[in-house]
Amino acid sequence: MSLFDIFTHQLVNGLVLGSFYALVALGYTMIFGVIKLLNFAHGDLYMVGGFVGFIALSAISSVVGGDWFGIFTAMLLSMIAVGCLGVLIERIAYHPMLDAPRLSILITALAVSLVLQNSVLTLTHGQYQPFRTDLGFGGINLGNLFITYNQMVLVGTAALLMIALELFVTRTQYGRAMRAVAIDKDMCQLMGINVPAIIAVTFFIGSALAAAAGTMAGAYYGSVWYFMGFLIGLKAFTAAVIGGIGSIPGAMLGGLVLGLLEAFGTQIPGVGSEWKDVFSFAVLILVLVFKPTGLLGKSEQERM
């Protein structure tokens, strides 16, 4: 393979990885926007999304088939279920803590993450569950580059979801309210915006996006397990920070940047795939040190 082939090959890998990171990072950043909380449980919602998608597909594949149509149906079901789970978590665990000290709500978020993780661990005995689909391995050849249809559908779906989100946030009443709540919650309350409802909508959308990513990742990689949300939760946070936490276009950009960085990073001599994760965390720490507001973040310095 020539250098150019390696480049295009890693470009595709990076786009696929980046799509997952971006979808999960969006939820992080939106939730951070409205309640200023790093939702540690977000990676686990991705994991639960993968499992719900897996269960849904097993249940309906005899009717709708196990190819992309079936997967999209399962994904939609998973998005609704996990969206509701996200709203429930906010109501039960985070809502009573909104005025508590920062440390308490962070630990609560960690506790929620552990409860989700270990519930699934107990139910599955920590085993990988094979995610059976009827997806083929077909694709198209572009010169020396082979792109599978699965990769194209996956990146395309992620892009569509992100365009839909962008339209929702910029063009609808709810989206405008969501942006307003992110700027000043108290003032929104005074202006007659139903702040708890907006927070609930935000949790629903953020969790649903994570579930979409989880279902697609399960179908794409062929298995789901209870710990799959841990690493991607960390990576998506990194992506959100790279893009500028709180910024929705930033999360999309950050996800892609991190996906590409990782794909190309493994090509650096001495980095290799076993150092891939170390490489991304090193990127996170460097970004936080040199540009904590990220690429598209606001420059206000907030201290908590």
Under the binding rule (CB under 8 A), the answer on residue 292 touching other proteins is: yes
Cα diameter, the chain: 63
> Where does residue 148 fall: left (phi above 0), alpha (psi -120 to 50 degrees), or beta otherwise?
beta
How far is C-alpha 286 from the geometric centre of its chain's CA atoms?
22
Kindly state whether residue 101 participates in binding other proteins, applying the rule CB under 8 A: yes
Least Cβ distance, residue 113 to other proteins (angstroms): 8
Q: How many Cβ atoms from other residues are within 10 Å of residue 1's Cβ?
A: 10
What span, in angstroms and rounded, lies between the C-alpha atoms of 148 and 293?
Answer: 36
**Which of residues 58 and 266 has its CB atom nearest to other proteins in the complex?**
266
86, 237, 250, 262: which one contacts other proteins (CB under 8 A)? 237
128 near other proteins, rule: CB under 8 A: no
HSE value, Cβ hemisphere, 13 Å, CA-based, for 242? 28
CB of 256 to other proteins, least distance (A): 20
Question: Between helices 149-171 and 248-265, what is the axis angle to 10°?
Answer: 160
What separation in angstroms does the CA of 106 have from each of 32, 35, 97, 113? 12, 12, 10, 11
Instruction: By CB under 8 A, name the one of 97, 147, 152, 159 that touches other proteins.
Output: 97
Stretch binding other proteins (CB under 8 A), from 74-82, 130-138, 166-174, 227-235:
227-235
- Residue count, binding to other proteins (CB under 8 A): 46
Quickly count helices (H) and strands (E) in the chain. 11, 4
Residue 72 near residue 60 (C-beta atoms within 8 A): no
Least Cβ distance, residue 69 to other proteins (angstroms): 36
- Does position 284 interact with other proteins (CB under 8 A)? The reply is yes
Nearer to other proteins, 5 or 277 (CB): 277
Residue 122 or 267: the one with the smaller Cβ distance to other proteins is 122
DSSP 151-204: HHHHHHHHHHHHHHHHHHHHHSHHHHHHHHHHH-HHHHHHTT--HHHHHHHHHH
Q: Is 126 in the site for other proteins (CB under 8 A)?
A: yes
Least distance in angstroms from the C-beta of 38 to other proteins: 4
Q: How far is the CB of 36 from other proteins (least distance, A)?
A: 8
Structural contact between residues 218 and 54, judged by C-beta atoms closer than 8 angstroms: yes
One residue of 146, 225, 264, 275 binding other proteins per CB under 8 A = 275
Q: Does 234 bind other proteins (CB under 8 A)?
A: yes
Give the torsion sign (CA, 225, 80, 205, 209).
positive
Other beta carbons within 10 Å of 233? 24
- The C-alpha atoms of residue 149 and residue 134 are separated, in whole angstroms, by 13
Q: State which residue, 115 or 260, has the beta carbon closest to other proteins.
A: 115
| Binding span for other proteins by CB under 8 A among 66-74, 167-175, 200-208, 232-240 | 232-240
Q: Which is nearer to other proteins, 63 or 289 (CB)?
A: 289
Instruction: Give contact residues for other proteins (rule: CB under 8 A).
Output: 37-38, 40, 93, 96-97, 100-104, 106-108, 110-112, 114-115, 117-119, 121-122, 125-126, 230-231, 234, 237-238, 241, 274-275, 277-278, 281-282, 284-285, 288-289, 292, 302-304
